Amino acid sequence: MNPVDHAMQMELMALLDRVASSLPQGTLVSAAASPTLRKRLDEAEARLADCRAAVLADYGRWRAGLDDLENLWALANWRLTAQEPAEQTTTLAA
C-alpha cells in the first residue's frame, strides 16, 4: 500500500469510527429502508470511490514523474563522468 492509499484508508477508518460512535443503533436499517436516503448514500459512496481512484492515478503519475526526473539526473551525471576523462586527456596533452 503506497503512502497516499494508506492516508486515505486511515481517513476512511476515522470517518467510520466517528459515524459508528455518533449514530444510535438501528440507523443503518433505517437508512436502508428509505429509498431516497439509500440512493443518496450510494451516490456519495460512488463519488468518493471515483475521487479515490483519481487521487491514486494522479499519485501514480507523480511517482512516475519522480522516477523520470531521477533517471534524467542520473543520465546527466553519467554523461558528465563519461566526458571528464576525455577532457583531462586533452588538458594533459597540451
Domain-embedded: residue 1:
no
Residue 94 pLDDT: 52
Say how far apart CA 6 and CA 55 lie, in whole Å. Answer: 12
For residue 1, CA distances in Å to 4, 56, 85 come to 8, 11, 44
Count structural domains, the chain.
1
Asked whether residue 57 is domain-assigned, the answer is yes
Check residue 26 and give its pLDDT.
Answer: 81
Q: Using alpha carbons, list the distances in angstroms from residue 55 to 2, 4, 9, 59.
A: 12, 8, 12, 6
Q: What is the pLDDT of residue 20?
A: 87
Residue 88 placed within a domain:
yes
pLDDT at 86: 56
DSSP code, position 94: -
Indicate whether 60 belongs to any domain: yes
Average pLDDT across each block of 10 residues of the chain; the chain has 94 residues. List them in order: 94 93 84 88 96 97 97 94 67 54
How far apart (Å, rounded) are the C-alpha atoms in residues 15 and 48? 12
Residue 47 in any domain: the answer is yes
Assess if residue 20 is contained within a domain: no
The x, y and z cell numbers of residue 75, run together, are 543520465
Looking at residue 15, its pLDDT comes to 95
* Grid cell listed for 67: 522516477
Q: What's the pLDDT at 83?
A: 82
Cα 31 vs. chain centroid, distance in angstroms?
32
**Range(s) of the domain holding residue 74:** 31-94
pTM: 0.70
Per the listing, cell 554523461 goes with: 79
